[in-house]
Structure 1
Amino acid sequence: MNNRRSFMKKSAALGLGAFGINSLFNELHAADFQNAERFWDPGSETNDDYWATIQEAYTASKSDVIILNNGGVSPSPLVVQEALEKYNRQAAQGPSYYMWRIMDKGREPLRQRLAAMGGCDPEEIAINRNATEALNTVIFGLPLQKGDEVIGMKYDYPNMMNAWRQRQLRDGIVYKQLSFDFPIENDAQIVKAYEDAITPQTKIIHVTHVVNWVGQIMPVKKISQMAHKKGIEVIVDGAHSFGLIDFKISDLECDYFGTSLHKFLSAPVGSGMMWVKKDKIAKIWPLVCNHEPTSADIRKFETLGTRSFCIEQAIGEAINFQEGIGTKRKQERIHYLKKYWAEKAQQIPGVKIHTSLKPEYSCAIAGVSVDGLKPGELDSKFFNDFKIHTTPVSYEGVHCVRVTPHVYTKISDLDKLVGALEKISKKA
């Protein structure tokens, strides 16, 4: 009986506990993070003793494989893994009770915390499963008519390009795509390209905040300001920026924003978020049916049916972990890691870096190639010969291997990457 009472008490705490003093982050990591602060030197670029504590909090830092495809999906720190496991155990005792009557009460506090992190109104935040779901909701929900124009680019994410193509087939909208020769270290050049493509029929500009192919950071705010002067709305794909770059959604001055939380926030796989400017909510049709589809309530976008409330609630511990570091500090560290290996790599004969190394134009992602090797061949050599996991890119004139470190990535791992490039380039 005592064990039963203890289990019930613990279960109740789990339902709402991510943002309380009994959070798993406080239990597992808070003291270590606090102790690590004594190693922090604001004047140092490396602070390796501090980051060693952060690395230790990720089980992935001990993997036999060096994971450098964090732009695809990032591993979760131990605290998020533990939270998800405990929520799953709780739900397994009776999903219809623990999920719908206990965990479901945690959505509103989670909405509040995501909004605080995003610098926006909680009534503008919907919690879903990934950036594709978030942005497809907007793309298919907009009341566009035949002949209305949408401007995107060839380097947007494939699922978003396909969504616009589907609207073009279904509704007769005009979908126009720009092409860029990245890297570009000139915001005005990018903004002008979008502006020059505008016609009286243009209704939407779709912008990818951080281009997944090569890591280019797009001047979203400047594009939004230009577009709004012409009465055009802006949709932003923030899959690779939220949880990595130190910004607030309101800073972007856009109208719609979608992101995946399982990338740089390191939340569980299958977690995402959508932001819709409050005065735009009512006109967007939900992607999945709702009893009040024209409502101005952001929650109309969350009627997804039965899904994993466990994943949803474990997002809270990812936020705790993020705030334990600080987004600005995290951004600077990951950019340092990218710059560390890329500056060394570009000195190797036959090796080319396809991404700007300036922090205003890129952060985590960089593309690399070796003369004489196709991206798939280089990717295979990384893994087969050195147990380094990356991802090859061969698309629209971009031919490279994408390398993306995270806060758990060790300098020694990046030294191994550079060493691998030296050996591979000599044999190519």
Structure 2
Amino acid sequence: MTFDVARVRADFPILGREVNGHPLVYLDSANTSQKPRAVLDAMRAHHERHNGNVSRSVHTLGTEATSAYEDARAKVATFIGASSPDEVVFVKNSTEAINLVAYAFSNAATQPGADPRFTLGPGDEVVISEMEHHSNIVPWQLLCQRTGATLRWFGITDDGRLDESRLGELVNERTKIVSIVHMSNILGTINDPARIVARAHEVGALVLLDCSQSVPHLPVDVAALGADFIAFTGHKMLGPTGIGALWGRGELLAAMPPVLGGGSMIETVTMEHTTFAAPPARFEAGTPPIVEAVGLGAAVDYLSALGMEAVHQHEQEITGYALKTLADVTGVRVFGPGGPDGRGGTVSFDVAGVHPHDVGQILDDLGVEVRVGHHCARPVCARFGVSSMTRASFYLYTTTQEIDALAQGLDRVRKVFA
């Protein structure tokens, strides 16, 4: 299945604007994606017609808001192949989703009778990788500091793949959880987690996948992945900021202690004791991001109508074209896998002798929007011997003409710094 990119672009009002007198060339979708009119309209309609709090009122607006919120949860569950909407916990982003799991381990460590799968202490190990976004590094470092557990990690090969050569040693009987990225936000690498998941489960460890970049860009089925948790965020998949999701196996969510206490996550409360609601409510204390959930539901509808296989195929074609085009630009070094296979629509590169911030500023003068810096992945930059990179990232609305504009902009960069 394919789709008409021109027709898709017509759904995104922002793509019609100019930047510095040039047509906008938006190549920063791995950072945050743009929103189609359908998402903007759904959020506006909810504010105008159905604004109320959820799970608290019996009046009409409250009932409508609750229905819209739970409908969005059901759409997300179907989108990722969850067996029940109750396996989807709404959070504000992937960072919060990962921290939620990490703090559940923390809380279990001090809770009498906690499920042993979530108890962690000296002698236990947490395994991540060198490829991770900081959001999948720092929470585990902090968890290990709180509990006395040890942090270990997979390395990265020279061609930007996850180095699984030490899998049997790294994931062992001391491992309690393995948390790795499904698709790298800086290298574009799509990891096949099958061997790691199998090894982790063999030794009784849990697995979390950071799917922030994969869920928006390719078909993701949680049953096929085999992980125990996945995290992703709405603003990278055509939805608004402030909304994301943690998917977890139902029986694991039911065994996890809560992290935030407050309204809506309780069953009963007395001055002496509190019992907690079943998931997902247990993990959604306080007033949730209601209209943001509605927007995410509309984004899921939009992506589902296009078909994620078609989205992925389009991005592979664009990525292949970008890799070929950048290979012809003198002085450009591309990081990560050399071809589009096993790679998503993200290409990070270095321009010899030019700092990425200068690259980004000159490109912006031409209306070409890329991201520069360490991309919240400093260990990856260190692995490849650079302090920062320039990143162009693509989505369903990206065209080959925009890749050409990027290449022309890089020619301008070279001339300025010749």
State the TM-score, normalizing by the size of structure 2: 0.83
Q: Which amino acid aligns with 2:391?
A: R
SS in 2 for 1:323: helix
Runs of at least 5 residues in structure 2 that lack an aligned partner in the other structure: 19-23, 106-117, 268-273
Deviations 1:315-355 (A, max 9, x none): 22212211121000001112211221221111122111113
Corresponding position: 1:130 with 2:110: no
Q: 2:373 is matched with which residue?
A: 393
Q: 2:394 aligns with which of 405, 413, 418?
A: 405
Q: 1:63 is matched with which residue?
A: 17
CA distance in 1, matches of 2:315, 2:15: 15
Deviations 1:187-241 (A, max 9, x none): xx73333333234321111111111122111121221012212222111111111
Change (3 A) 1:99 1:121: farther
Q: Which amino acid aligns with 2:10?
A: E
CA distance in 2, matches of 1:302, 1:167: 19
Corresponding position: 1:333 with 2:314: yes
**Identity among equivalent pairs (%):** 19
CA distance in 2, matches of 1:170, 1:154: 21
Corresponding position: 1:237 with 2:237: no
Q: 1:195 aligns with which of 165, 168, 173?
A: 168
Q: 1:104 is matched with which residue?
A: 66
C-alpha contact (below 8 Å) 1:125/1:273 kept by paired residues: yes
State the TM-score, normalizing by the size of structure 1: 0.81
Displacement over 6 Å in runs of 4+:
93-96, 293-296
- Of stretches 392-401 and 200-209 in structure 1, the one that deviates more from structure 2 is 392-401
CA distance in 2, matches of 1:98, 1:179: 54
Q: 1:345 aligns with which of 326, 349, 364?
A: 326
C-alpha contact (below 8 Å) 1:154/1:177 kept by paired residues: yes
CA distance in 1, matches of 2:87, 2:45: 29
Deviations 1:42-69 (A, max 9, x none): 6xxxx7xx21101111113213232211
Q: 1:266 aligns with which of 238, 245, 269?
A: 238
SS in 2 for 1:403: strand
- Of stretches 120-129 and 284-293 in structure 1, the one that deviates more from structure 2 is 284-293
Q: 2:111 is matched with which residue?
A: none
CA distance in 2, matches of 1:91, 1:231: 46
Structure with the bigger percentage of helix: 1
Instruction: Figure out how many residues of one structure are paired with residues of the other and give that number.
Output: 377
Deviation of the 1:131 alpha carbon: 0.8
Corresponding position: 1:170 with 2:129: no
C-alpha contact (below 8 Å) 1:286/1:300 kept by paired residues: no
CA distance in 2, matches of 1:156, 1:99: 42
CA distance in 2, matches of 1:94, 1:287: 22
Corresponding position: 1:158 with 2:120: no
Runs of at least 5 residues in structure 1 that lack an aligned partner in the other structure: 1-39
Deviation of the 1:93 alpha carbon: 8.5
SS in 1 for 2:163: helix
Q: Which amino acid aligns with 2:394?
A: P
CA distance in 2, matches of 1:207, 1:296: 29
Equivalence map 1:415-426=2 (5 Å): 415-426=404-415
Change (3 A) 1:403 1:336: same
CA distance in 1, matches of 2:277, 2:165: 34
CA distance in 2, matches of 1:343, 1:374: 23
Corresponding position: 1:228 with 2:191: no
Q: 1:287 is matched with which residue?
A: 259
Q: 1:253 aligns with which of 226, 250, 261?
A: 226
Deviation of the 1:177 alpha carbon: 2.9
Corresponding position: 1:140 with 2:112: no
Q: 2:108 is matched with which residue?
A: none
Q: Which amino acid aligns with 1:212?
A: N
C-alpha contact (below 8 Å) 1:66/1:389 kept by paired residues: yes
Q: 1:119 is matched with which residue?
A: 81
Q: 1:149 aligns with which of 110, 119, 125?
A: 125
CA distance in 2, matches of 1:392, 1:94: 39
Q: Which amino acid aligns with 1:405?
A: F
Deviation of the 1:408 alpha carbon: 1.7
Change (3 A) 1:207 1:98: farther
Corresponding position: 1:73 with 2:36: no
Change (3 A) 1:270 1:324: same
SS in 2 for 1:86: helix
CA distance in 2, matches of 1:107, 1:309: 6
Deviation of the 1:359 alpha carbon: 3.8
